Chains A and B, each alone.
Chain A
Amino acid sequence: MATLSPPRRVLSVRRHLWVVLSLERELDCRQSRPPISLQGSEAEDRVKRDGGVSDSECRPDSGVPEVPVATDDTPEVLNKALSGLSSRWKNWWVRGILTLAMISFFFFIIYLGPMVLMMIVSIKCFHEIITIGYSVYHSYHLPWFRTLSWYFLLCVNYFFYGETVTDYFFTLVQREEPLRILSKYHRFISFTLYLTGFCMFVLSLVKKHYRLQFYMFGWTHVTLLIVVTQSHLIIHNLFEGMIWFIVPISCVICNDIMAYMFGFFFGRTPLIKLSPKKTWEGFIGGFFSTVVFGILLSYVMSGYRYFVCPVEFNNDSNSFTVDCEPSELFQLQDYTLPSVLQSITGWSTVKLFPFQIHSIALSAFASIMGPFGGFFASGFKRAFKIKDFANTIPGHGGIMDRFDCQYLMATFVNVYIASFIRGPNPTKVIQQLLALRPDQQLHIYNSLKAHLTERGLLATQEEAA
């Protein structure tokens, strides 16, 4: 940490300064050169946009130089296979192949169990955003900071997953002694872990780098807020039933693809200055096709128990089971069509799963609000002058690029379920009941008995309490 004597420190600062200045001079008002790899038609319009930069934007904000441009990362095999085609179509094919690969991978993971997927994705997203922070602030060599970022990620993940495990694996937890103690004092332990990280941060503050360190601290926390809470909510939705995980994500992906297609074939009126390639035709076309897709997909999926039942942990077999009596939401019901539709289609009633009605709400949200998540990420990339979050997926950029539209979707689905679908979780209620004091339990017992007797669910029994 503070081991350099002052003169040497100033020298390294000066060297630092020189690097910054030379980067700045290079960047200052030059015509933006095309990025090294043209990855998809989006890159072309990025060139067009950046080319129009005026001189006042050329000067970056004080003290914050730009991130070097991403390089071409397409694997050799694909390059060889597509060497004949022109550059534009080659990129189209690369993107297409990778898209198909990702979708198949997605279904494969669904078959295996999505929790692992979510954990890996969230860790990778966190890593990508933090790396951008390092590049933006040249803070890669800040003492302790890499350790601290990962430590905070671990803490917050521990807290959230601990809560989930306590909720859903209640009986397993009660059986094992160490797990029981961990879950009883879970909040206290998580808080202590976080505090340790906080104290380490304060102790690691170095005289010359206060502002940088605070920036990175803030950056880490905002990233945690976005990435970890979203992934946690996705897991919550998953436990409600895999359909609540699959349908929202598929709707967002479908909206992406459909809006792109409609924009490609019919696009004319630009939608927003932030993303010049988006068009109103793409937006509206994407909206309607996503709604239709959502209805059809939920029709297909509602028939299978594997997707519809809440994931539960069976204590006897020590494994996850998805076996249950499907709730009302997933049973075919007759709906009378309004007269307008009756005259068009000639049917008087139609059989639908109630879930399909909900899926209309989900896909409407995905089409209307999902793009805002995309604009947010575009603005972020413009602000920090990066083309992609990372280079993990050739043709598509980093993991964050694929998941940017999903930001708000997971939260929306979770809030939707909590508000309109699900009541409280019975296991959780029992848990809380058993934690009360005996006199409170007795009081609740009597109230519940009165309530159930009123409802006629309890026959009058011989033993009156």
Chain B
Amino acid sequence: ILPRKISFNISYLQTFLCSHRAIAGSGKVHYLPYYLPCPEIFSMKLQYTEEKLIQLFPQLFYQQPRVLAPKRQDVLTVTPWLAPIVWEGTFNPEILDSAYRPLNLTIGVTAFAVGKYTRFVRRFVESAEQHFMRGYQVKYYIFTDSPGAIPQVQLQPGRRLVTVPIQKFSGWQEISMRRMEAISRHVAEVSHREVHYLFCLDIDMVFHNPWGPETLGDLVAAIHPGYFQVPREQFPYERRSSSAAFIPEGEGDFYYGGAVFGGLVRKVYEFTRTCHMTILADKANGIMAAWQEESHLNRHFLSHKPSKLLSPEYIWDDRKPKPPEICLIRFSTVDKNYKEVRD
């Protein structure tokens, strides 16, 4: 399913994409107009750390799965393109651990702590140490404009935290949207060599329950907690056709949240790079999408479907009342005064 050609900007962007593939790392860019910055990352050819597929499941004794007795009958557990939707009860964490642990993987996490958001770092990292990928090697990349404000948190063995300096932009929307650029740039320069999988998470959130290898996949998105019970007409997609994030009425699978996405590092690179380009296209047109990069994320995931979905257990909003379908909240927002913290 190819993205729609909705304006002349998108069509030349697509031409650029096609020609870029043919050039194969020579570094020359022909079609980008002068006002679109940072062309050099588009031409980088990356060497990825060796990808590992699940190979061997060691001997384990567990209850036999029953074909006629699904544990979760109340929710959708598979998408129409046969990607699993991860809910409590759909998986056995022991089986998955037994297959993934021996692969010696490193999982990367990016989170942005800009301006006053540095205050959330401690709780984020401390709760991650308790619940996120326990027993695996983890590398936290905290993107910040004030590295001095990042607290030193005690980490488990095999886990490291680095700060990545970034520029502070004016306005929280700008900061939010620039994340795509920053992540793709960082992957190209650094993290593609250091991690196998990468998750991009919001910093103003806390882990409450285990988040393990059930979340690993080629391209992983999470279902937004505010929209998993409503029909697609009510999804807050960008509805103006002049935007590169436009999704017309009658289209759309799910509404994905911008606070959680991830996957294999090369997939995250492709994804963040494409979103960055569509955001730039909108800038050139003088338009900002309804929910900033989240709208662009949704547009991208409509055309390039994720290989795995995480249920709202993995991206919860504590202000919402908990429905019966949500048995377990694993990752959710910290209560805060939005006006004050966004400056």
Q: Does B associate with A?
A: no
A residues apposed to B, CB below 8 Å: none
B residues apposed to A, CB below 8 Å: none
